Amino acid sequence: MHDSHIHLAMEPLRNNYIDSIDAFLRDNGKYILTQGTDIVDFDENFQIAEETNKLYPNTIQVAIGLHPTFFEEITLALGIVEDVFEKCQKKMILFEDIFNKKKKKVSAIGECGLDYYQFSLNNEYTKEQKEQLKEIQKIMLRNEIQLAVENSLPMSIHSRDVNGSKECLQDAIRIIAEEGKGTLKGSFHSYTGDISQLNQIIDLGFHVGFNSIITYKSGDTVREILKKTPLDKILFETDGPFLPPQSVRKNKEIKEKFAQPKDIREIMEVACQVKNLSMEKLEKVTDENYRNLFT
C-alpha cells in the first residue's frame, strides 16, 4: 500500500505520526508522500521524513510546494490589498531558493495548483481582487511547473472549483499542457472532476489520486470516475489529517476524527469492489504506479 498525499506536519498527525506510520507499515504499507504546503512547514516535513526513514528506510518521500490558497492567506486574508502580486512574487522567489538548497531531499513539487473555491467564499473581496488572485495562482503554478521540468520532478496538483464550475480544473490542465512540454508527470490529487476532464488528465500522462471520498455515501460520482480510470493511472491517498474514512466519521467513540496512513486499507477495500479486482492485484499495480512516479 501507499499514501500518495498526506500532511504529516499538520496536527493532529504531527504528534502521532510514528504510531500512525507504524500501524500503516504493519498492514503492508510501503510508501508515504508527505506534502509541504507553505514555507513554514517545509522543515518539519523534512525532519519527519529523516526521523522516520532512520527507523523504516525509504518509507517517507517529501513534496514541497506553495498551496494555491497560500497567496490569499498572506495578502487579502490579512487585509493587505496593496502590492499583492509583489508580495506573492517574493514568496515564490523564497520558495525557489529553499528548493534549490534542499532539492536532494525532494521527491516532488507539491502541493500546488489552482483553487477558485476558497476565495469565492469571501464576500468582502471585490471582483477585481478575486480575478487578481486567480492570475497570481496561474503565474505561480507556471513557475512551479518550470521548476519541476528543469529538475525532472513529478508534481502533486491541487485543483478545486467553485461548485458547478469546470473553470479551475480546465485552467490547470491547460497550464500543465503548455508548460509541461510533454515531459511533466504527476498526480491530480483528490480528483472530483468529470469524465471528459479525466480523459484530458490521462492524455497528459498524469495519474489520479483517490481518497476516502470513495467510502462516503455521497461519493457515487467519484466512485464512477474511479471505475473509468485506467488501473495504471490510479494512486491512493488519505489527504490526512483531512477526509477521515466513513468508518471513522460514523464512529461516535472516536472524539478526534482525522485521516491517517492506515486508512488506505479501507479506501482500497472500496476500490476493489468498484474495480472488481482482488486486493493483491490492486495493491501490486498501484504501488508500482507510486514507485514509478515518486521514488
| Nearest-angstrom CA–CA distance, 204 and 258 | 32
Q: Do residues 201 and 188 lie in contact, with contact meaning Cβ atoms separated by under 8 Å?
A: yes
* pLDDT of res. 164: 81
Q: pLDDT value at position 6?
A: 99
| pLDDT tens per residue across span 248-288 | 999 989 989 999 999 999 999 999 999 999 999 999 999 99
**Half-sphere exposure of residue 156: CA atoms within 13 angstroms, side-chain side:** 33
Average pLDDT over residues 229-258: 96
- What average pLDDT does the segment 17-26 reach? 95
Q: Residue 67 and residue 115: Cα distance in Å, rounded?
A: 9
- Annotated binding residues for a divalent metal cation, as ranges? 5, 7, 111, 158, 189, 239
Q: Is the dihedral of CA 210, 211, 215, 220 positive or negative?
A: negative
Report the C-alpha gap between 210 and 217 in whole angstroms: 15
Sheet with 2-6, edge to edge strand ranges: 2-6, 31-36, 60-64, 108-115, 155-160, 186-188, 207-210, 234-236
Q: How confident is the model at residue 163 (pLDDT cuts 50, 70, 90)?
A: confident
Predicted confidence at residue 215, as pLDDT, reads 98
Output the pLDDT for position 16: 85
Do residues 165 and 116 make contact, with C-beta atoms less than 8 angstroms apart?
yes
Q: What is the mean pLDDT of residues 83-106?
A: 97
> Over the Cα atoms of the chain, what is R_g?
18
For residues 183 and 190, the answer to whether their CB atoms sit within 8 Å is no
Binding positions are: 5, 7, 111, 158, 189, 239
Average pLDDT over residues 150-165: 95
Query: Around Cβ 124, how many Cβ atoms within 10 Å?
Result: 7
Predicted pLDDT of residue 181: 86
Beta bridge partners of 156: 187
Q: Is the pLDDT of residue 197 over 90?
A: yes
* Helix/strand/coil percentages in the chain, nearest 5: 55, 15, 30
pLDDT (tens digit per residue) in 112-145? 999 999 999 999 999 999 999 999 999 999 999 9
Q: Which of 4-13, 104-113, 185-194, 247-256 has the lowest mean pLDDT?
A: 247-256
Amino acid identity, position 206: F
Domains located in the chain, CATH noted: 2-107+188-294 (3.20.20.140)
Quick one: cell of 241?
A: 489529517
Q: How many CB atoms lie within 10 A of CB 87?
A: 15
Extended beta strands in the chain, E state = 2-6, 31-36, 60-64, 108-115, 155-160, 186-188, 207-210, 234-236
Rounded to the nearest 5°, which phi and psi values hold at 207?
-95, 170
* In the chain, % of residues over pLDDT 70: 100
pTM for this one? 0.96
Across 222-233, average pLDDT: 98
Region of 83 on the Ramachandran plot (φ > 0 left; ψ -120 to 50 alpha; else beta): left
β-bridge partners, 159:
114
Query: What is the average per-residue pLDDT within 199-210?
Result: 98
